[in-house]
A and B are shown apart, each in its own frame.
Chain A
Amino acid sequence: MPASFDAIYTSVLILVCLVLGGLVLLLFTRVYSDQKQRRSKVVLENFRRIFHDRLSGSQTKTVMTKELIFRDSDYDDLAYVYLCHDDLLNGEARIFLRNLALDLSLDVYAQDMLKNRVKTHQLLLGLAVAGKLGLSSCLPNIKALIGVSDASISFQAAKSLIEIEQSLLGEILESMIVRVDWSISKCEMILRKIDQEKLKNKLNELVLSGRYGNSVRMIFICGMVQNNLSLLKHFLSEDQDEDTLAVSIRAMNDVESLPQIRVLLRHRSWVVRCQAAKFLERFALQEDIPLLAELLADKYWWVRYRAALALSSLPGVDLSSMAADYKLDTGNLGLLESVGLGQWFIPENSKGVQG
C-alpha cells in the first residue's frame, strides 16, 4: 500500500472525526441555546411577578428571595428585561421599576461591566443600565468610552452620560455633528432627554461660532429642538444655497417662521419650493391659499403634490372650483393628486379603474 494512500486514509479519518465533532458541537449549541432561552423566559417571568407584586402593593421580599430566584449568570438577561420595561413605562411605575432594579443589584452589575470591559454586548448593557439608573459613580468609566471608535459603544456612552448629567453637553453635540457613524435618528433619542432651553443655548453657541459652516447634520440637529427659529433663521436667508435652504426648511418646526417660508414658495429652485409647501402642510393659514393654489400648476410633480396636500389640510378649501379659477390645464393634476391620497373623491374626468 503506497504511502500516499495511508496519508489520504489518515486524512479521511481525521475529517470524519471533525465532521462528527462538528455535528456534536452543532447539537450541543442547539441544546445550550434552547436551555438559555428557557432560562431567559424564567428570568422574565420572575421579574414580572416581582414587579407586579411591587406595583400591587404586596411587598415581596425581593432582597431576601433574589438569590433563590436569580443566578449570577442571569444578570445579562435581567438587565435586558429591566431595559425593556423601562422603555415602556413612565410615571410612578417607572420609579417602582428603578427601585426594583436597585434591589436586584443591577447597579453593581453595571459597575462591574464598565470596570471590567467585558464583551461588547455586556458593555452596552452596563452602559444602558448605568444611564437608566443614573449611576454617577460610573461617570469616569462612561466618559472614557465616548471617544472610542466603535460607534455603538461611543453612542451608548453619550446617551448614558446625558441621562446621568449634562455637563458635557457641548462636547456631545460636537460629536453628533462630526461623528457620521452616529445615525441622526439615534441622535434625536439623546436630544429628547435634554432640557430644551439649555440645548438651544449650546447649539446657538455652535452655530454662531461658524466652526461647522452649513453642516447638514448641524442643521438637522438644530431642527430637533423645539421652537427652533432662533437657531435656524441664520440658514434661511435667500442668499443661502438651495441645499442649505431646503434642509433648513425641512428641519424647521416653528410657526413663527411662516413669513420667511412664504417668501420661499416662489424660490427659483423646485427643491426649496417643495420643502416650503411641505412646511405649509403643517402650518398653513387661510391667507396662504392663493400662494398654494399657484403651486398646483408648478412644473414639478413634487411641488404640486405637496401644495395639494397643504391645501387639503386647510378647512373649507374646494379644490374643484380652484382648478377652474386657476385654469389648471394639466388634467387637473392637483385634484388627481389629492385624490391619490384617498382623502377626497373620484373626479369625473378620471379615467378610473380599467382592466
Chain B
Amino acid sequence: VVHSGKFQGSSGVSQDVAFFFSLIFVGYFFGLNISYLALNIAAYKELLRYKSNHFLETLPLHGARHEIPISVLVPAYNEENTIVGSIRSLLQLEYPEFEVVVINDGSKDGMLKNLIDAFRLYEFEEYYEPALECRKIIRIFRSFEHPNLRVIDKENGGKADALNAGINVSHYPLVCVVDADSVLDRKALGMIVRPFLEDRNTIVAGGTIRIANGCRIEQGHVVSTALPQNILARFQVNEYLRAFLFGRLGWDSLNAILIISGAFGLFRKREVIEVSGYRENTIGEDMELILRLHIHCISRSRPYSIHFVHDPICWTEAPESLRVLKNQRIRWQRGLLESMAGNLKLAFMKNSGYAGKLAFPFFLIFEAFGPFIEVFGFFLMLYCGVVGAFSFSYFLAIMLFTISLGVLLSLSALYLEERASRTYSKPADLLKLFFIAVLENLGYRQLLSCWRIMGFFKWLFRTKQSWGDMTRKKILSN
C-alpha cells in the first residue's frame, strides 16, 4: 500500500510509520498462520500415532486392576443447582479405585445442604497432612451411601485455595481436578491415566473439553450429542475444537503444553505439592500451575512430561449470553497474562526446551498481545479504506484472504475431530460447523479480541475479580 503510492501527499515520516506497522501486521499474520499450520501437522501425526498404538485397548476386558488410584477433586462454590447431578455422575465413573472429594469453598447458597441430603452425609473427624497452605477446613463429611465420597466444608478462599485443601485431604497419588458443573464420560479416568502408566515421567495429563449445550444428558451422562441451538454456543464449539485438537495435541508432541484446562486435568500429587500447589492470587490458576511445574522440573534437570489425551472427554456448559461470555473471556485473558507475567523465567531458562523457547513466546505474541494487533490491524484497514488509501475491492480481498485462512484452520480442526472421535454424527452438523466457521469471522472473533484487550487492561490495573460468578442455564442440573 505504502509503496504503491497510495499515501500520496503524506509526509515521509508517516509513510515510514505506516510501513513499519504494515511490516508488523504481515509478520504477525504469517507467523500466526505458519505456527498454526505446523501445529496442525504435529497434531495430525500425534493423533495417528496415539490411535494406532492404543488400537487394541478398545477390546473388551482390556485393562486390569493395577491402575493407579485417583482422587477426583471437585471444587465448588454456590453450585446448588448442579452439584448433586455432577457428583452422581462422577460416582458412576468406571475405574478400579477412586474417590470423589467435593470441596465446598464457603458457599452461601444451599449447596452443602443439598449434598448432605442427597448423599446422606455425616460429619467425620479425620486426620490429614496439611502439605499445602489453605484456609481453615471446618468439617469433613463422609457418606453413608458411597464410601468413596467425601465433602470438605472450608472457609471461602477461591478455587485455588479449595484445590489445595482438596489435595491435602486426598488419599491417592494422582489427583484429578474436575469442575463442579462438568460431566465426564464414564471411561474418562481410565483413558486419562494412560500417560501415567506408559511413561513414568508423566506429571500431568489433560483431557478434552467439549460443549454440552444441545446434548442430551441422562443420569449424569451424555447419552446423545448434538450441536447447541444457541449461536454463541455454536461459535464456541468450533473454538473448543481448534483449541483442543490442534492446539493441545500439536504442543503435546513437543512436550510444550502450557495449559491444561482447569475443568479436567490429572496431576501427580507429589509434584504439585513440591511446587506448593495452586497459587491463590491468580485467576488462571490452571495455566499458572503448569508453568511452575515446567520451571520446577527444568530447574532440577528432572525428566518430565505433560501430556494431552484426546479421547477422555469432559462436557461442560458454554455461556449462551454475551454478558457471561464476556466475563469468561476477560477472566481467561487475565489469567493468561498473570500466569505468563509471573513465570517469565521459563522463556529464559537454559534447557527449557520447546516449552520455554517456542510455546512460551508463541503464547506471549499470539495469545497475550495478539488481540491488540488484530484489532488495531482491523481498524487501520477500515481507516485506510475510508481515507482512500486503498479501494473497497482491495479491502474486500484482504478480508476474504484472512477469513479463508481462518476457515481453513477451522476445517482442519473439524477434520482432526472427524478422525479422532466424530462427536457430531449427523453430516448436517458438519455443514453447520463449516458455516459457523465462516460466520465467526464476521464479528465474533473481533468481539473476542476486544474482550481480550479489556482483560489485558483489567490485568494491568489489577481490577478485583472473584471466581464462580458465572450464571448458567443449568443444563446439568440436579
Contact = CB atoms under 8 A, between A and B. Distances in A.
B400 interface: yes
Contact of B198 (A87, A120, A183, A300): A183
A120 B116 contact: no
A259 interface: no
A15 interface: yes
Interface stretch (A3-11, A162-170, A197-205, A227-235): A3-11
A342 B144 contact: yes
B67 A5 contact: no
Nearest to A23: B434
A248 interface: no
Instruction: Please classify the interface of chain A as helix (H, G, I), strand (E, B), loop, or mixed, using the class held by over half of its residues.
Output: helix
Contacts of A64: none
A12 interface: yes
Contacts of A209: none
A34 B430 CA distance: 13
Interface residues of A, number: 64
Nearest to A17: B404
Contact of A341 (B147, B393, B430): B147
Interface stretch (B322-330, B414-422, B459-467): B414-422
A333 B140 CA distance: 13
Nearest to B411: A22
B401 to A, nearest CB: 5
A16 B404 contact: yes
Interface in B428-445: 430-431, 434
Nearest to B49: A120
Contacts of B407: 19
Contacts of A116: none
Interface residues of B, number: 61
Interface string A335-355: 010011110001000111111
Interface in A309-339: 330-331, 333, 336, 339
Given A121-B51, A121-B52, A30 B60 contact: no
A33 interface: yes
Contacts of A102: none
Interface stretch (B117-125, B208-216, B377-385): B117-125
Interface in B1-33: 1, 4
A27 B427 CA distance: 8
B302 interface: no
B56 A124 contact: yes
A255 interface: no
B4 A2 contact: yes
A12 B397 contact: yes
**Residue with the greatest number of chain B CB neighbours at <10 A, chosen from A88, A186, A333:** A186
Interface string B384-414: 0000000001100110110011011001101
A342 B145 contact: yes
Contacts of B147: 340-342
A153 B53 CA distance: 8
Nearest to B147: A341
A121 B55 CA distance: 6
Nearest to B415: A26
Interface in A128-153: 128, 150-153
A188 B199 CA distance: 17
A30 B120 contact: no
Contacts of A83: 56, 59
Contact of B122 (A8, A341, A350): A350
B300 interface: no
A189 B64 CA distance: 8
Nearest to B422: A33
Given A4-B4, A185-B67, A15 B405 contact: yes
Contacts of B197: 183-186
A181 interface: yes
A2 B394 CA distance: 10
Nearest to B401: A12
- Give 3 nearest A-B pairs by CB, closest first: A183-B197, A15-B404, A120-B52
Interface of A: 2, 4-5, 8-9, 11-12, 15-16, 18-19, 22-23, 25-27, 29-31, 33, 80, 83-84, 87-88, 119-121, 124-125, 128, 150-153, 156, 180-181, 183-186, 188-189, 220, 299-302, 330-331, 333, 336, 339-342, 346, 350-355
7 contacts: A5-B397, A26-B414, A29-B415, A84-B60, A180-B200, A185-B66, A354-B116
